[in-house]
Amino acid sequence: MSIPESMIDRTIEHLFSQSDPGDEIHYLHVISAPKGAIGPLGVPDENKLEVTIAAIVPDTPTPQEVPAWIRKACAGVYAKHVNEGKLIMFAAVSQEVWVAPVGDELGARLQREGRLHEHPDAAELTIVYGAARDGRRWRGSRYLTGPEAGKGESDMLVGRVTPDEISGICAAPVLLKMVGLA
């Protein structure tokens, strides 16, 4: 069962376009098939697919708690879809994060303290991870600030899920479960 790649590409681009510097808002997009949307050959009727968009704004005071908040929000949306008998065909999450140069001791210390945004060379970026029920996955990033602002990349992945693929994406295990890949 799959959904058109053009629909997924539009969803991923939409996730990137929702990020603005300093917002610290994360988004979850889910494309699901309600009962009766899957045809006799196992292909969903594109006109019957439903899209759910959730803005995830942690109300927590510490950045260290944000990953758990994002996972909890994704799990809640998943449970709602399961309770409604909907089959999740695709799920993707965007996270706004701060990065500093690799190996930078000040960056490592500020990261541990939840103050990486105070680093003089830190940049904010949006990272996106998505997974489809048929096994395709997407990951990408786009810089919001710094000398690379506006630049980004995304890849489609196939084959076995690797630990490297999901590193840095706190909601990846939940997304993989949502679409039946974990």
Residue 4 has pLDDT above 80, yes or no: no
Residue 10 has pLDDT above 90, yes or no: no
| pLDDT for the residue numbered 5 | 81
| pLDDT for the residue numbered 128 | 92
pLDDT tens digits along 117-143: 889 999 999 999 999 998 999 999 999
pLDDT tens digits along 136-171: 999 999 999 988 888 999 888 898 888 888 877 888
| pLDDT for the residue numbered 67 | 82
| pLDDT for the residue numbered 60 | 65
| pLDDT for the residue numbered 69 | 82
Long-range contacts of 141-144 (CB under 8 A, 24+ apart): 142/16, 142/19, 144/19, 144/20, 144/21, 144/96
Q: Tell me the pTM.
A: 0.86
pLDDT tens digits along 55-101: 888 776 666 777 888 888 899 999 999 999 998 999 999 988 888 98
